[in-house]
Structure 1
């Protein structure tokens, strides 16, 4: 069964711990990320997202971005990870 997480508007350092906790709670199942309201992606939350993607892949589950804002896509790309890494499959 697939689960989902809705990301906050700002993925800054204040959001990193709660983002990590949210991923820990959802581990063990396919996961869809909704980022349609996200307007800022900071480095620490970017690292959490990348680590989660790697963990889901290692666990044999899918982690994908279902919906996103242009700002989220631009922020991820600016930090070195285009969203196609998060599309479909592992």
Structure 2
């Protein structure tokens, strides 16, 4: 079963800490992050997601980003990542 976690509109440092806590609860399980409402993506938020991507990959569980907002996609580009890095689950 894949757990879907809805990401807050603002993925700043405060919400990144909450995301980390949520991800920790679901470690060892399939997870998808719904980023449809994201209106601000901080480097901290992206770092949490990239760390989770690598952790889930090492643990051999599915980790995905679904419904990325345009702002989320723009944030990836501004922070220097291609959309394929997160959306296709590529390890960095």
TM-score (norm 1): 0.89
Per mean C-alpha deviation after superposition, the further-off stretch among 47-56 and 73-82 is 73-82
Partner of 1:51: 51
Q: CA RMSD in A?
A: 1.5
Shift of 1:89: 5.8
Shift of 1:76: 1.6
**Local SS of the residue matching 1:37:** coil
Partner of 1:6: 6
Partner of 1:19: 19
Shift of 1:86: 2.7
Deviation by residue 1:12-37 (Cα, 9 ceiling, x = unmatched): 11212101001101111111110000
Q: Which portions of structure 1, spanning 4 or more consecutive aligned residues, are displaced by more than 4 angstroms?
A: none
Alpha-carbon distance in 2 for matches of 1:47, 1:2? 22
Structure 2, unaligned stretches of length 5 or more?
Answer: none
Shift of 1:88: 4.8
The total of aligned residue pairs comes to 90
**Local SS of the residue matching 1:4:** strand
Shift of 1:48: 0.5
Does the 8 Å CA contact 1:7/1:33 hold for their aligned counterparts? Answer: yes
Partner of 1:81: 81
Shift of 1:82: 2.4
Alpha-carbon distance in 2 for matches of 1:21, 1:87? 21
TM-score (norm 2): 0.88
